[in-house]
Structure 1
């Protein structure tokens, strides 16, 4: 473990987070904490990695950790666990999120923002002391999983799935996330941090009832690029697996 980059991926037991962990574990360069609201689901996901010999992965580089983005207590407990076991964190990948909830308009906004924005921000603050202790090359990294739906340019000018008339609450939470990301990028740049947001594309995951047209294994490449890509290519920007995206 001592020679590996320590990574925490929230929402890592399924979807994009799972495939990012699968791909990063295979390199042998990372030790990855698979964050999940339900610890047993992370344990089952790691078991899946072990049993699926058809994919390239190294589950020995992955361990489960419980973290619920809607619970400050859970977030603080996770940070304390990492502090006590490792004393540092090198890369924080904020991937957990929700796209839909029932209730009144106010209740929908509150729940989606609570997870996607408030939970992510609380998690950054909880883990900043550990990220500041990172001394490995490629450390002091924070990456938010955003969405092309966050682009105001595309919302105003595009048709189809990017038309601003659709997914108003969810996409506004991702636009807000991008601003939070830029704020941290500017605040922390002087300390050597690299902070970014990623657009994995419209992937078929549980988030959208598997309606997406893109393979999440491909979308996960954007998450990985945000986490380990060159600063000049990703810092203070929203990126996909190849390029920067418009605000």
Structure 2
């Protein structure tokens, strides 16, 4: 068993999770489980990470882990695999998420409003909650006791109330509502687990160019990933029970 701190990042085969995995592995103190629905994509991500000369990492810094956050059987199988191989988990970053079209179909050519909401909540909220509960026993055996969630500044009710801004509530109504719900889940764990020594946080990476938004974001995902890393590794006084961004703590 490695002496390095063990971290699982869901949805780490691409986008923000990928770059967070790269940055965390580069510090030399962590072993990163690359969580992905497709084990082949996880393995490919590791190959790409190792081949990238911009940040030096080694293949030994990573392990692939198949985990579909929408499938209880997949989640349970992932927990069993981590338990059998490592016996514990130090840090969990719930990063997997979706952001599909935000307009419902009225002619049956696409998802209905109910289907649109259901798909987003299934992955972004229910998936994160179930993964967290499933891995809690292993997190309690870990030394770091860290739990983090990839959220969004769009989740902020205060920012959403400001008209004529990117954060205005009329933009991305379905997706953003899942992140507001996710923040409540994060805060619930932060308060309930604090007495056990846990540090629990959420991150607002900003509007980054990733597959999630068709690469339309204006921010480099490498920069956005720094906020994910902060939520996982930052000092408790700076990150616990709040959502962090490169502008500081994001208002609720």
> Structure 2-normalised TM-score?
0.94
Instruction: Report if the CA contact (8 A) 1:149-1:162 is conserved.
Output: yes
Q: CA deviation digits over 1:85-134, x for unaligned, max 9?
A: 00100000000000115500000111100000001000000000000001
2:61 maps to what in 1?
A: 61
Alpha-carbon distance in structure 2 between the residues aligned to 1:47 and 1:76: 26
Q: CA deviation digits over 1:148-194, x for unaligned, max 9?
A: 00001111115332111110010000000000000011110100001
Q: CA deviation digits over 1:183-212, x for unaligned, max 9?
A: 011110100001111000000000000000
Q: Is 1:111 aligned to residue 119 of structure 2?
A: yes
Instruction: Report if the CA contact (8 A) 2:154-2:179 is conserved.
Output: yes
Q: What SS is found at the alignment partner of 1:142?
A: strand
Instruction: Please give the residue correspondences for 1:6-17 in structure 2 after superposition, counting only pairs within 5 Å.
Output: 6-17=6-17
1:192 maps to what in 2?
A: 197
Alpha-carbon distance in structure 1 between the residues aligned to 2:14 and 2:68: 14
Shift of 1:242: 5.2
Q: What SS is found at the alignment partner of 1:162?
A: coil
Shift of 1:241: 3.7
Alpha-carbon distance in structure 1 between the residues aligned to 2:54 and 2:194: 40
2:237 maps to what in 1?
A: 232
Instruction: Report if the CA contact (8 A) 1:7-1:92 is conserved.
Output: yes
2:222 maps to what in 1?
A: 217
Does 189-198 or 101-110 show the bigger shift? 101-110
Q: CA deviation digits over 1:45-85, x for unaligned, max 9?
A: 11111222233333320110000011011011101100000
> Structure 1-normalised TM-score?
0.96
Q: What SS is found at the alignment partner of 1:31?
A: strand
CA root-mean-square deviation? 1.1
Change (3 A) 1:170 1:187: same
Instruction: Please give the residue correspondences for 1:1-247 in structure 2 after superposition, counting only pairs within 5 Å.
Output: 2-100=2-100, 102-135=110-143, 139-241=144-246, 243-247=248-252
Does 149-158 or 7-16 show the bigger shift? 149-158
Q: CA deviation digits over 1:223-245, x for unaligned, max 9?
A: 00000111111111011145111
Alpha-carbon distance in structure 2 between the residues aligned to 1:88 and 1:199: 27
Instruction: Report if the CA contact (8 A) 2:26-2:55 is conserved.
Output: no
Gaps of 5+ in 1: none
Does 227-236 or 55-64 show the bigger shift? 55-64
